[in-house]
């Protein structure tokens, strides 16, 4: 299945035998008898009466085409962006490309609708898989030789199949204390429960993971020690954290020691902006007219966050990638990378559920990124996306700093998420009732504004956050003990405090919604269902108790997404957000 573009290093070890991880369900899967006939049909001299295929002549689409954006349409990170033009004008500037796929290509081995819209193998297009293998070998690459790739119908579908692949009823899945809730919901009806692991501003804490695993008591917990971990390590959803390399190595070692399969969901890998207020990685090359596109692409690849797959010399990592954030979510197209045994079992699961991903989607994506853009164009497109989303990250953070009168110390600009995690990450903090008046507008047009805190008399800390270095989200800690109704109470650990705290968070959510600002409440992302703000009707109580978390009822959370708004509405919306928050704590 190797594509020949980027040779695999065959001196690398092969994956270990992971067959003991397969669930009863997955072990019981059999190949579809009908699919076995498709093999014969490759012989063009055979006249087949065997298949159940409809006649491709009668597919009503003679062509499938699209006007597509130029891959270089968006400015990369660190490049001075010209004054915004209208969307239409931008298109005229850059021109559009017309891509078209015919029903019958002159060479029937080429991309054609008569094949791509017909029944096919459950794994998806061999051409796209070859491209994705080349990509994997280029940007990751895994530390074992015999990995394989299968397409899926988006990450949710991919993860759903992985849960069925690995989990028995009643199993636990390790995850970050705050995580993507749809992932938890996938296992829930199968009786699979999240086992949250404590995290901080750097993501999952290896020491907390080891404590949890080493001290696991099957009887006390009512389930066997978890053998699967679900994790998002780059721009984590919802906390925006990026796992440093030393933690990644430490956690992989633990996974190896305790025989855990790591499922790495990495939708934001390309949106890796670097530290807020510091030139984005690669800016130097982007601004150097003498740098080649190849050089710029190389620098971009080297600046990407790492994958667990890179640590993986045993074949215990399953990586889920998606086109949802780089092309469009409606494509419902992604891919799963793992050892060949798991890939084969996932193929069996596809054959009796989704079969292959949508043909029109595959045709569009293959024509665009494999045939039209090529690997160089694809990388240029991702650099542009990183630029666009990175600028939005900057607009949101600078607007929060301004609107909340946040003090920024110069040392915070030297913060690097990949540096040692022994020191706490430098959070930005907003205080109630600062004495300094709001700063003039002009100051906030800069990337970041630094001023001396000594001029300000501080009230209580009301919110704090770490500017994210990747992803789409800012995770706001709301310090509820600053609120008049909770201020000074000493019963923080009590049920009544928790209820009152939830009530305060809910009031703040409603106050924001009334000001037409909708945020995502933190309880939506809670791995163990114990955090502030969760409505009582959400029964998330029966999760594992072994979270290792110090749940702090005095801290609530909001997730703010910076992906969709343009500069002006972003600044207005965050300004409105800040006004409501400050008034709420006044």
Residue 47 or 290 having the CB closest to a second copy:
47
Cα 429 to the center of its chain, rounded Å: 26
Residue 143 or 233 having the CB closest to a second copy:
233
DSSP 571: H
DSSP 244: -
**Shortest distance, position 190 Cβ to a second copy, whole Å:** 6
Residue 55 or 107 having the CB closest to a second copy:
55
Which one, of 316, 247, 255, lies nearest residue 13 by Cα? 316
- Calpha distance 470→477 (Å, rounded): 18
Residue 27 or 494 having the CB closest to a second copy:
27
| Residue 150 · residue 347 · CB < 8 Å | yes
The burial class, CB within 10 Å (0-12 / 13-18 / 19+), for 107 is exposed
| Residue 519 · residue 508 · CB < 8 Å | no
* Residues in a beta bridge with 173: 194, 228
| Residue 578 · residue 559 · CB < 8 Å | no
Residue 151 or 417 having the CB closest to a second copy:
151
- Calpha distance 153→203 (Å, rounded): 28
**Shortest distance, position 196 Cβ to a second copy, whole Å:** 15
**Shortest distance, position 72 Cβ to a second copy, whole Å:** 12
Residue 6 or 324 having the CB closest to a second copy:
324
Q: CB neighbours of 446 closer than 8 A, spacing ≥ 6?
A: 398
DSSP 323: S
Alpha helices in 67-109 (DSSP H): 87-94
- Spatial strand order in the sheet of 461-465: 428-431, 461-465, 473-479, 555-561, 520-521
| CB half-sphere exposure, 110, CA atoms < 13 A | 10
| Residue 194 · residue 209 · CB < 8 Å | no
Helix (H, G, I), strand (E, B) or coil at 476: strand
Which one, of 557, 549, 551, lies nearest residue 196 by Cα? 549
Which one, of 360, 391, 332, 316, lies nearest residue 567 by Cα? 391
**Shortest distance, position 130 Cβ to a second copy, whole Å:** 19
Residue 27 or 485 having the CB closest to a second copy:
27
DSSP 15: P
Residue 384 or 434 having the CB closest to a second copy:
384
Residue 417 or 560 having the CB closest to a second copy:
560
Residue 32 or 443 having the CB closest to a second copy:
32
| CB half-sphere exposure, 424, CA atoms < 13 A | 5
**Shortest distance, position 210 Cβ to a second copy, whole Å:** 30
**Shortest distance, position 202 Cβ to a second copy, whole Å:** 22
Helix (H) or strand (E) holding 388: helix 374-403
Residue 283 or 326 having the CB closest to a second copy:
326
**Shortest distance, position 211 Cβ to a second copy, whole Å:** 29
Residue 327 or 425 having the CB closest to a second copy:
327
* Crossing angle of the two packed helices 567-584 and 374-403, in degrees rounded to 10: 40
- Calpha distance 259→254 (Å, rounded): 8
* Residues in a beta bridge with 261: 228
């Amino acid at each position: 299945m190797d594509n020949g573009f980027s040779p695999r290093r065959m001196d690398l070890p092969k994956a270990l035998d992971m067959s003991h991880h397969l669930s009863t369900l997955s072990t019981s899967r059999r190949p579809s008898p009908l699919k076995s006939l498709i093999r014969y049909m490759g012989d063009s001299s055979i006249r087949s009466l065997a298949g159940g295929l409809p006649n491709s002549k009668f597919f009503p689409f003679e062509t499938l085409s699209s006007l597509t954006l130029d891959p270089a349409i968006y400015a990369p990170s660190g490049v001075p962006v010209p004054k915004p033009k209208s969307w239409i004008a931008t298109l005229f500037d850059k021109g559009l490309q017309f891509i078209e796929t015919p029903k019958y290509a002159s060479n029937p081995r080429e991309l054609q609708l008569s094949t791509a819209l017909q029944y096919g193998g459950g794994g998806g297009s061999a051409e796209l898989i070859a491209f994705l293998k080349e990509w994997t070998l280029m940007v990751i690459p895994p530390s074992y030789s015999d990995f394989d790739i299968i397409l899926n119908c988006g990450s949710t579908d991919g993860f759903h199949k992985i849960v069925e692949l690995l989990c028995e009823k009643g199993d636990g899945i390790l995850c970050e204390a705050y995580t993507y809730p749809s992932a938890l919901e996938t296992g829930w009806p199968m009786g699979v429960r999240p086992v949250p692991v404590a995290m901080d501003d750097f993501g999952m804490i290896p020491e907390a993971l080891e404590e949890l695993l080493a001290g696991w008591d099957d009887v006390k917990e009512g389930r066997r020690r978890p053998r699967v971990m679900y994790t998002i390590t780059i721009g984590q959803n919802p906390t925006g954290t990026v796992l440093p390399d030393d933690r990644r190595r430490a956690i992989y070692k633990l996974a190896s020691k305790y025989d855990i399969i790591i499922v790495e969901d990495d939708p934001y890998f390309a949106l890796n902006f670097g530290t807020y207020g510091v030139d984005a990685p690669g800016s130097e090359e982007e601004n150097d007219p003498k740098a080649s596109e190849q050089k710029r692409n190389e620098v971009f690849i080297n600046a990407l966050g790492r994958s667990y797959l890179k640590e993986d010399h045993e074949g215990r990592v399953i990586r889920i990638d998606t086109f949802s954030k780089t092309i469009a979510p409606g494509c419902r197209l992604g891919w799963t990378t793992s050892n060949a045994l798991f890939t084969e079992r996932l193929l069996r699961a596809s054959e009796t559920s989704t079969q292959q991903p949508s043909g029109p989607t595959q045709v569009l994506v293959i024509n665009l990124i494999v045939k039209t853009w090529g690997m160089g164009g694809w990388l240029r497109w991702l650099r542009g996306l990183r630029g666009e989303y990175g600028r939005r990250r900057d607009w949101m953070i600078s607007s929060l700093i301004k609107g909340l009168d946040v003090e920024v110390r110069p040392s915070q600009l030297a913060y690097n998420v990949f540096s040692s995690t022994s020191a706490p990450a430098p959070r930005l903090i907003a205080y109630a009732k600062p004495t300094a008046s709001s700063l003039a507008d002009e100051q906030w047009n800069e990337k970041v504004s630094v001023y001396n805190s000594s001029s300000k008399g501080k009230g209580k800390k009301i919110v704090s956050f770490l500017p994210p270095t990747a992803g789409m989200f800012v995770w706001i800690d709301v310090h509820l003990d600053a609120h008049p109704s909770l201020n000074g109470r000493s019963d923080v650990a009590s049920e009544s405090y928790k209820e009152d705290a939830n009530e305060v968070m809910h009031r703040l959510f409603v106050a924001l919604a009334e000001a037409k600002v909708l945020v995502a409440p933190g309880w939506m992302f809670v791995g163990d269902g114990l955090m502030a703000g969760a409505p009582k009707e959400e029964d998330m109580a029966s999760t594992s108790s072994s979270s290792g978390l110090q749940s702090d009822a005095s801290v609530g959370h909001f997730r703010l997404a910076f992906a969709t708004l343009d500069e002006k509405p972003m600044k207005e919306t965050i300004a409105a957000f800040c006004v409501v928050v400050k008034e709420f704590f006044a």
